[in-house]
Structure 1
Amino acid sequence: MLDADFFRRWMVATAVSVDREADRLTALDSPIGDADHGSNLQRGFTAVAAALEKEVPATPGDVLTLSGRLLISTVGGAAGPLYGTLLRRTGKSLGDAAEVSREQLAQALRSGVEGVMALGGAAPGDKTMLDALVPAVEALGEGFGAARAAAEEGAVATTPLQARKGRASYLGERSIGHQDPGATSSALLIAALVEAGGE
């Protein structure tokens, strides 16, 4: 079972990964976006980690709801609302339980992903963060390692796609050949589940 401390470790591990990969995320964003994805997410997850170092909320749901709220208030561009919606919706779906199973997390994360779809109007194949998140959620039942592999494969698979949503869609065919930065950062989020000690 996964408790609030596991979810804190997940968010802190994500912050460490985003910090480490910020330059790469920005480099991916440079040809097809505003060249700020890495720095924006770095600012947001640094704020999340700092808040969780001070105090760990009582439940898994509270950890994610707080994290989502902080991302919305600190991350610029579209990433803040999208990541914020993902985590807040997931947190609300987990409710007040003190511990949750991996299956409950998968179900809640599916609800979070649906929130992202509704907010951004995107679907898998549109070259967005959903191309990593949707396969990850589907693989989560097999384990965190399977979810990480699915997310990473999904992110890489955005390279030959033409963007149909978001800033990159303005480029049309010129968006082909570039890995999507949002899918790449989403894969970091999923990979951090393993780093947090999940199986």
Structure 2
Amino acid sequence: MSDFTLETAKAWMSEYARVLDEKKEYLTELDSPIGDADHGTNMARGMKAAIEPANLDQPDLGSLFKKVGLALVSKVGGTSGPLYGTFFMRAGKEAGETTALDGAALSKALHAGLQGVLDRGKAELEDKTMVDAMTPALAAFDKAIGAADLAAASAAAAEAAKTGAEATTPMLAKKGRASYLGERSIGHQDPGATSTEYLFESLAASLA
């Protein structure tokens, strides 16, 4: 099984930035009825800043993810910046001063990131948030990693994230700005869950 390396991580961040720029109008379209209509532009701007050479040119995975996280916190407005920023900073803390992770170690880093999102956002499954895509993605990754390589496991995670994001459409929002809409939040796919889908699809692409 090939490892998740520092170069893979850089490719992941660059691919995520590319996808967010490509999908920013769609994400904003999703955000318009239940949010501030800025999720796409904010996330695209944040990741563009995150992949500047000063952030990507790091000696280890921990430093790289910390820099990406700090860039997102400083550049992305609303709750998305702190949540995604915390995800990467917690993942980086778990990864530490290493340049490669095996499947089990990558899982630990990603789970640390998820725990950071849970701690910061206080959201649970079916609250109609990014947690609804991230949790099943990591569950699928963990299930696959024992019998598959990183590329296949990350592809399984991406598919589960997509299913999780789509499953937010009929949910009643219980967190964030969308929760203020009550029943009117039903029938709209959550933009944060969708950008999380793109996060895992970008990971899969970088490992393919």
**Normalised-by-shorter TM-score class:** over 0.9
Equivalences for 1:121-136 in 2 at 5 Å?
121-136=122-137
CA distance in 2, matches of 1:93, 1:161: 32
TM-score, normalised on structure 2? Answer: 0.92
Given the alignment of the two structures, is residue 16 of structure 1 paired with residue 18 of structure 2, yes or no?
A: yes
Structure 2: 5+ residue stretches without partners: 145-152
Instruction: Give 4+ residue runs of structure 1 displaced > 2 Å after superposition.
Output: none
Equivalences for 1:9-158 in 2 at 5 Å?
9-51=11-53, 55-141=56-142, 142=144, 143-158=153-168
Structure 1: 5+ residue stretches without partners: none
Task: Please give the secondary structure, in 2, of the residue aligned with 1:88.
Answer: helix
Q: What is the CA-CA distance between 1:105 and the residue it aligns to?
A: 1.1
Of stretches 173-182 and 55-64 in structure 1, the one that deviates more from structure 2 is 55-64
Contact 2:56-2:64 at 8 Å conserved across structures: no
Of stretches 92-101 and 170-179 in structure 1, the one that deviates more from structure 2 is 92-101
Given the alignment of the two structures, is residue 184 of structure 1 paired with residue 184 of structure 2, yes or no?
A: no
Contact 1:28-1:178 at 8 Å conserved across structures: yes
Contact 1:3-1:59 at 8 Å conserved across structures: no
Q: What is the CA-CA distance between 1:146 and the residue it aligns to?
A: 0.2
Q: What is the CA-CA distance between 1:102 and the residue it aligns to?
A: 2.1
TM-score, normalised on structure 1? Answer: 0.96
Contact 2:173-2:179 at 8 Å conserved across structures: yes
The one-letter code sitting in structure 1 at the alignment partner of 2:159 is: A
**Identity rate of aligned residues, in percent?**
45
Contact 2:50-2:56 at 8 Å conserved across structures: no
Q: How many residues align?
A: 197
Q: What is the CA-CA distance between 1:56 and the residue it aligns to?
A: 2.2
Contact 1:4-1:56 at 8 Å conserved across structures: no
Give per-residue Cα distances to partners, 1:65-110, cap 9 Å, x unaligned: 1100110011111110000000100110111122101221111111
The one-letter code sitting in structure 1 at the alignment partner of 2:88 is: L
